[in-house]
Amino acid sequence: MPQLSKQALEAGIDEILQAPKDAGVLHLIVRRPETDEREVLQQGCLSLSAGLVGDNWARRGCKHTADGSADPEMQLNIMNSRVTALVAQKPELWPLAGDQLYLDMDLSTENLPHGSQISIGTAIIEVTPPPHTGCKKFVARFGLEAMKFVNSGFGKKQNFRGINAKVIQPGEIKVGDIATKL
């Protein structure tokens, strides 16, 4: 897969910064049934205990918890669809970013500080404090420059790599739903 240069990535910043602040479209739902497996869904169910039902979040666990169990503060991974479109270049490659929800919404800390709530479909999620940063898989899929771009000082402030969230009201979501900041 061709990877973008620093200049090409930076050229996309203006478009990313035009993302809606209060209400944006849910463009993609991706369930990860097993490590490195992706299922693109048209609709999904968000659960208090499982996050995105059928996703491996709970089974996979977390290396950052003392007992290796799943971190409830990292139940959902959400990425700005404009950033995804830029780094992935092709819609069919979006799921490789590894997130479950792709929203056309300003995910910056200024717009969505920890504790902010977002309604999607009949569910409500809450932004949580753990940072969501790129990993070696992100580098392998989109390149080192993409990783530097999302993890730069500006990229982190804007949460270009995305945010973590948890479900606080279970419900159904579907592609095309409007995600609304509460």
Distance CA 36, CA 42 (A): 20
Per-residue pLDDT of the chain (182 residues; tens, 9 = 90+): 678 999 999 999 999 999 999 999 999 999 999 888 999 999 999 999 999 999 988 887 777 777 877 788 999 999 999 999 999 999 999 999 989 999 999 999 999 999 999 999 999 999 999 988 767 788 889 999 999 999 999 999 999 999 999 999 999 999 999 999 99
The structural domains of the chain, ordered by start, are 6-181 (2.40.33.20)
Task: Supply the pTM of this predicted model.
Answer: 0.94
What's the distance, CA 145 to chain centroid?
19
Complete edge-to-edge strand list for the sheet that includes strand 51-52: 51-52, 43-47, 171-174
Give the CA-trace dihedral at 181, 14, 143, 6, to 10 degrees. Answer: -150
